């Protein structure tokens, strides 16, 4: 049976179509979810895509966090549903308190759009089990508020618990503390990543195929998950 992966569309979402395409290329069925509909329609996993939900007003992700669909996703994630937040989706996960810390204005105050090398450090998550520890991947980054920050105790805890999923290599594009590009929750089912793996799934349009591993990982995870 083909896995069904939901992709949420908020007002201002930009990369929901790209995320749905990545899900399809990975071998799953993308299911479009609407911000105003609390139903998840039986999906096996969820992607919160990049973009500018609700125009990034108030604070990136701060309004989206209260969308009806997010109330359901938060409960489901706490019950083990795999959730991947990409860029704006990462911001939403932090605002929803599914992940610690926050994403703030890039330290240099400029929008950054470039192909970025990452080092995968945690491969035990639902979204990274297709990678090898220390594997370097090339994935586009594009953000203006991508600087990950947290208090020292939180950063130390993420490090100690192996919850830093990926770090920037060859230059930090936004000033994120400890070069953090992606993190996970304690259970490993929720991952937030600032770069865009959905833009690195086809040779025609991406700098590599390295992003595909995030989407094939969740399929592998679902096959091994208890019924």
Region of poorest pLDDT, from 33-37, 193-197, 223-227: 223-227
Q: What is the pLDDT of residues 210-221, one digit of tens each?
A: 999 999 999 999
pLDDT at 81: 98
Question: pLDDT-based confidence at 227, cuts 50/70/90?
Answer: very low
Domain locations in the chain? 4-224
Residues 47 and 118: their CA atoms lie apart, in Å, by 20
pLDDT at 226: 55
Active site residues per annotation = 87, 196, 198
Rounded to an integer, the average pLDDT of 70-93 is 98
Q: For the chain, what percent of residues have pLDDT higher than 70?
A: 99
pLDDT at 2: 93
Question: pLDDT-based confidence at 13, cuts 50/70/90?
Answer: very high
Residues 6 and 43: their CA atoms lie apart, in Å, by 6
- Calculated CA dihedral for residues 156, 160, 164, 169, nearest 10 degrees: 80
pLDDT at 144: 87
Q: For the chain, what percent of residues have pLDDT higher than 90?
A: 91
| Average pLDDT of the residues of the chain | 96
4-224 is a CATH 3.40.30.10 domain: no
Q: What is the pLDDT of residues 19-72, one digit of tens each?
A: 999 999 999 999 999 999 999 999 999 999 999 998 888 788 899 999 999 999
Q: Which two tokens stand for residue 3?
A: 């896995």
Question: pLDDT-based confidence at 106, cuts 50/70/90?
Answer: very high
SS3 call for 184:
strand
Closest CA to 106 of 2, 13, 176: 176
pLDDT at 188: 98
Q: What is the pLDDT of residues 134-147, one digit of tens each?
A: 999 999 999 989 99
Question: pLDDT-based confidence at 83, cuts 50/70/90?
Answer: very high
């Amino acid at each position: 049976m083909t896995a069904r992966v939901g992709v949420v569309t908020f007002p201002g979402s930009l990369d929901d179509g790209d995320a749905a395409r990545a899900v399809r290329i990975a071998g799953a069925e993308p299911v479009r979810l609407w911000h105003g509909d609390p139903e998840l329609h039986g999906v096996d996993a969820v992607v919160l895509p990049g973009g500018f939900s609700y125009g990034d007003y108030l604070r990136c992700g701060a309004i989206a966090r209260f969308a009806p669909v997010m109330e359901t996703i938060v409960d489901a994630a706490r019950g083990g549903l795999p959730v991947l937040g990409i860029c704006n989706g990462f911001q939403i996960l932090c605002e929803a308190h599914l992940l610690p810390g926050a994403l703030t204005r890039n330290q240099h105050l400029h929008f950054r759009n470039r192909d970025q090398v990452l080092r995968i450090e945690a491969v035990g998550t639902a979204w990274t089990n297709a990678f090898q520890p220390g594997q370097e991947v090339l994935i586009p980054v594009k953000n203006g508020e991508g600087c990950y920050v947290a208090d020292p105790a939180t950063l130390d805890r993420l490090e100690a618990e192996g919850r830093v999923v990926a770090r920037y290599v060859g230059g930090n594009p936004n000033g994120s503390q400890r070069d953090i590009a992606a993190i996970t929750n304690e259970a490993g089912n929720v991952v937030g990543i600032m770069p865009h793996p959905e833009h690195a799934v086809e040779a025609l349009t991406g700098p590599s195929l390295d992003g595909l591993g995030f989407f094939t990982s969740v399929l592998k995870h679902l096959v091994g998950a208890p019924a």
